[in-house]
Structure 1
Amino acid sequence: MPPDRIVERNARRVPPSASTRGVAMSDTCEALVRRHWHEANRSAWDSFAALLSPGLVYEVPQTRERIRGSAGYVDLFRTWPGPWRAEVVNVIAQAGKAVTVIDFVTATERMTGITFFEIEAGKIARVTDFWPEPYEPPARFSKYIERYAPLPTDAS
């Protein structure tokens, strides 16, 4: 699959250019974060930057990394090594906030990303990223817990 093609699963399609007149704020936030991933996948950096508040703050609590300003956030995406794409798996949105779950796919791996967005004045103002990794749980003693097989992944 070409890296510029967005893939969405379990999701309602919202055209990036859809009018927001008469649409609930949560729908507007959903359209904004979907467009965020769409423009990132296209490497359309001017269009991507137009979605961002100039004072955007990006944080990754697991690594304690922070970027202040939309230019730095765009640069993070623009300079990511190698081809990649973000497949939107799910979006949950409400007024002023949205969460996306993505599969971040490179030539060699597929990672789950959970991104929390805060939206102000129609622009993305804050982004918090979490990158959970699978792990073996500790021994459990509850008879109600069962293990299940992971979903198959395909990094092609």
Structure 2
Amino acid sequence: MPDNTRALILRHWELANARHWDEFAKLLASDLKYEVPQTREYIESGQGYAEMFSTWPGDWKAKITDLVCDGDKAICIIDFNVGQDSMKGISVFEVHGGQIARVTDYWPEPYEPPPRETAHMKRRPPAGSAA
């Protein structure tokens, strides 16, 4: 299973960088759960996750710097480059039935998320605030 998980995550970034969105979407479970704890953003569908990538602003590229797989889970560290700007990203992937079912992204540098062009992205209220 780790080899299959590794191949799936490598393919995820290969297709994302190449902007092959139809093939990219085939890697995703329809009920994929995506979460960014730092910004409180989340998506609850594979379609929404694919749309987030396809509408991300700028000419970006992700380069894997480390990938550790254990069964159906993977930790992937990337350098995410948009133009001259670079950010380190840490993604936790869970795979079920040969598809990516859950992704949690951590961004060590503080930031406010960019405006989104997808209605699938939602944002949780800050901790301690009235919902």
Which TM class, normalised by the smaller chain length?
0.7 to 0.9
TM-score (norm 1): 0.69
Task: Choose from 8, 11, 24 the match for 1:32.
Answer: 8
Give yes or no for the alignment of 1:121 onto 2:97. Answer: yes
Structure 1: gaps of 5 or more residues: 1-24, 135-156
Task: Choose from 50, 53, 57 the match for 2:29.
Answer: 53
Q: Which amino acid aligns with 1:110?
A: S
- Give the aligned length: 110
Give yes or no for the alignment of 1:89 onto 2:72. Answer: no
Higher strand share: 2
What pairs up with 1:102-141 in 2 under 5 angstroms?
A: 102-133=78-109
Supply the distance in 2 between the matched residues of 1:64 and 1:108 (Cα, whole angstroms): 26
TM-score (norm 2): 0.82
Cα RMSD of the aligned pairs, angstroms, is 1.0
| 1:48 to partner: Cα distance | 0.4
What's 2:56 paired with? 80
Supply the distance in 2 between the matched residues of 1:119 and 1:46 (Cα, whole angstroms): 19
Percent identity among equivalent residues? 50
Q: Which amino acid aligns with 1:28?
A: N
Task: Say which SS state the counterpart of residue 57 (structure 2) adopts.
Answer: coil
What's 1:12 paired with? none
| 1:82 to partner: Cα distance | 1.0
Structure 2: gaps of 5 or more residues: 111-131
Q: Which amino acid aligns with 1:94?
A: D
- The answer to whether the Cα contact below 8 Å between 1:27 and 1:94 also exists between their aligned partners in 2 is no
Q: Which amino acid aligns with 2:56?
A: W
Runs of 4+ in 1 over 6 A off after TM superposition: none
Q: Which amino acid aligns with 1:71?
A: Q
1:17-67 deviation digits (Å, cap 9, x = unpaired): xxxxxxxx1111011001000000000001100000000010000011010
What's 1:65 paired with? 41
Return the structure number with greater relative CO, CA threshold 8 A, min gap 6: 2
- The answer to whether the Cα contact below 8 Å between 1:102 and 1:113 also exists between their aligned partners in 2 is yes
Q: Which amino acid aligns with 2:11?
A: R
Supply the distance in 2 between the matched residues of 1:122 and 1:81 (Cα, whole angstroms): 29
Supply the distance in 2 between the matched residues of 1:92 and 1:113 (Cα, whole angstroms): 14
